[in-house]
Structure 1
Amino acid sequence: MRSLVIGASGGIGAALLAAAAGQGEAVGLSRSADGLDLTDEASVARLLGGLEGPFDRVIVATGALHGGQGPEKTLRALESPAMAAQFALNAIGPALVLKHALRFMPRDRPARFAALSARVGSIGDNGLGGWYSYRAAKAALNQLVHTAAIEIARSHPQSVVVCLHPGTVATRFTADYPDRSKLSPEKAATGLLSVLDGLGPEDSGGFFDVQGKRVPW
């Protein structure tokens, strides 16, 4: 089992890399260690172009809740640059990784790609409002992955291409958001890998939480 983890220096990413390494060979890329910039396709192409496949799993564990300001609570707080930055990192970036990582995914056996999304990106589950940019960027990611799964199934019939919701994980990104039910990065990583490995081609294009339950779009 060979795994590639994008965002391997973050709280969840590092835990995913360690868990995957315990099951086989694992390669990690990150901004801090490798200079990977998901908002720059040239950076994505260069760093992924330096790797040799195939990989049985490709997992994108990047993302940010906000870029220097708190999530918007009202329409009055919307700012075009902040919204664009959210889309660049949380939606476009993972899609570019999938574009350039597709060549790593074997066609003759199961191949799995997962991007970490978030339940707040679910339109059907949104009963509170707020968090405009982050919600919209994650919803866009869900659509991009779902659409790509349809295309990839034609050339990779055993593929699983999904979005995963890790839950609220105790990392520095969630330090300002109290939640007694926060998972440790290690527990989240173990759960995410178990869910991903348990999915089949019939699940490709779906959105699942860390317990393997479908999240509504």
Structure 2
Amino acid sequence: MVTDGRRALVIGASGGIGQAVTQALQARGDTVVTLSRQQDGFDVTDEAGVDRALAALEVPFDLVFVAVGVLGTPEKTLEAIDAQAMAQVFAVNAIGPALILRHMGRLLPRQGRSVCAVLSARVGSIGDNRIGGWYSYRASKAALNQIVHGAAVELGRSHKDSVVVALHPGTVATPFTADYAGRHKTVPPQEAAANLIAVIDGLSGDATGGFFDYAREAIQW
């Protein structure tokens, strides 16, 4: 991606990955607009608030990076499922990004390459689920992947050069993963950001609607 004059919107910019992506984009010369709950009171579960915040932005953006999410308390068994807790995870991980994506027709240019990248997670892959558990988080990310794929299909009709994807960043060393990383290899946010930006820059038009990891490898649904 050529960066001269490029504008990016990072949503969830106060989190570990969102902040690192913001800094990396700024370091290479992009103009970056940020939104976050911590800095701006941007709450993805507040439908009216999402609409107000996104409607107030000067558009278009060449890149929209959505880095919102919540882990909740991962369930180890079916008996541990709690309806209220599950609803909250879905509200942040699936419905929240959907409320953002419904503004994408205005946020992205109708002509010229643009990218909307939404952070997902490999555990949202149904085909890759071999150990069970983590029901709320897995299911919310699987739902998010479907929403992203559908958005890519729809936007492809009006924004023919747009690329809309779900991305898995790997296990990143942030407070989000601190209690659950376990034996998984972690990478610092700065490395994760560099990997994700490299993936975004290298995506071709036929990648739209896809689900990719930090090495640009496709992940099964």
TM-score norm. by structure 2 comes to 0.95
- 2:3 aligned residue: none
Are the equivalent residues in 2 in contact too, given 1:158–1:200 (CA < 8 A)? Answer: no
Range 177-186 or range 117-126, more displaced: 177-186
Note the C-alpha offset of 1:179. 3.6
- 1:91 aligned residue: 94
Note the C-alpha offset of 1:180. 5.3
Change (3 A) 1:50 1:143: same
- 1:145 aligned residue: 148
CA deviation vs aligned residue, 1:34-54 (integer Å, no higher than 9, x gap): 000101111111111121011
- 1:51 aligned residue: 57
Q: What does 1:68-79 align with in structure 2 at a 5 Å threshold?
A: 70-79=73-82
Which of 203, 208, 215 is residue 204 of structure 1 equivalent to?
208
Q: CA RMSD in A?
A: 0.9
Across the two proteins, how many residue pairs are aligned to each other? 214
Q: Secondary structure of the equivalent of 1:144?
A: helix
- 2:8 aligned residue: 3
Q: What does 1:14-163 align with in structure 2 at a 5 Å threshold?
A: 14-23=19-28, 24-66=30-72, 70-163=73-166
Range 198-207 or range 172-181, more displaced: 172-181
Ranges in structure 2 where 5+ consecutive residues have no aligned partner: 1-5
CA deviation vs aligned residue, 1:63-84 (integer Å, no higher than 9, x gap): 0111xxx200111111111111
CA deviation vs aligned residue, 1:109-130 (integer Å, no higher than 9, x gap): 0010011000000001000000
Ranges in structure 1 where 5+ consecutive residues have no aligned partner: none
Q: Secondary structure of the equivalent of 2:44?
A: coil
Change (3 A) 1:20 1:179: farther
**Which amino acid in the other structure matches residue 6 of structure 1?**
I
TM-score norm. by structure 1 comes to 0.96
Aligned residues: percent identity?
A: 58
**Which amino acid in the other structure matches residue 156 of structure 1?**
H
The CA distance in 1 between the partners of 2:126 and 2:211, in whole Å, is 12
- 1:195 aligned residue: 199
The CA distance in 1 between the partners of 2:196 and 2:78, in whole Å, is 34
Change (3 A) 1:39 1:149: same
Range 171-180 or range 112-121, more displaced: 171-180
CA deviation vs aligned residue, 1:103-153 (integer Å, no higher than 9, x gap): 020111001001100000000100000000000000000000001100100
The CA distance in 2 between the partners of 1:101 and 1:8, in whole Å, is 18
Kindly report structure 1 stretches of 4+ aligned residues shifted beyond 3 Å: none
